[in-house]
């Protein structure tokens, strides 16, 4: 069950952006979003294989969201809270994966 949680951000992100793409148009979504979702998928795959350092890709996306939230882009919803949540989430996942590795050895 814990292993499935590593993929939660990428699944939620895909659902959100597919819904937004259908509601408006896929052309209005920045291509970087798909790259970020790919990095989150790679992060989930690495942590699923007990590579705790796979969390760094998720933390990188979280830091990017925090940075984007600090810029004035005219968006209604700021990205900063999502970035903070993502950094905390991937840090917790890293600790869980690291501890699992210690108990297996």
Model pTM? 0.84
Give tens-digit pLDDT for 45-83.
999 898 889 999 999 999 999 998 888 877 777 889 999
DSSP the chain: -HHHHTTHHHHHHHHHHHHHHHHS-GGGS-HHHHHHHHHHHHHHHHHHTT-GGGHHHHHHHHHHHHHHHHS----SS-SHHHHHHHHHHHHHHHHHHHHHHHHH-
Instruction: Judge whether residue 86 has pLDDT over 90.
Output: yes
Give tens-digit pLDDT for 4-44.
888 999 999 889 888 888 888 777 777 888 899 999 999 99
CB-based contact 86:56 (threshold 8 Å): no
Provide the pLDDT for residue 1: 52
């Amino acid at each position: 069950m814990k292993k499935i949680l590593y993929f939660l951000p990428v699944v939620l992100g895909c659902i959100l952006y597919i819904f937004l793409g259908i509601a408006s148009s896929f052309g209005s979504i920045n291509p970087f979003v798909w790259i970020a979702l790919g990095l989150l998928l790679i992060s989930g795959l690495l942590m699923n294989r007990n590579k705790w350092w796979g969390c760094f890709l998720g933390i990188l996306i979280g830091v990017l969201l925090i940075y984007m939230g600090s810029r004035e882009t005219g968006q209604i919803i700021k990205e900063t809270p999502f970035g903070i949540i993502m950094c905390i989430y991937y840090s917790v996942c890293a600790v869980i994966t690291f501890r699992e590795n210690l108990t297996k050895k």
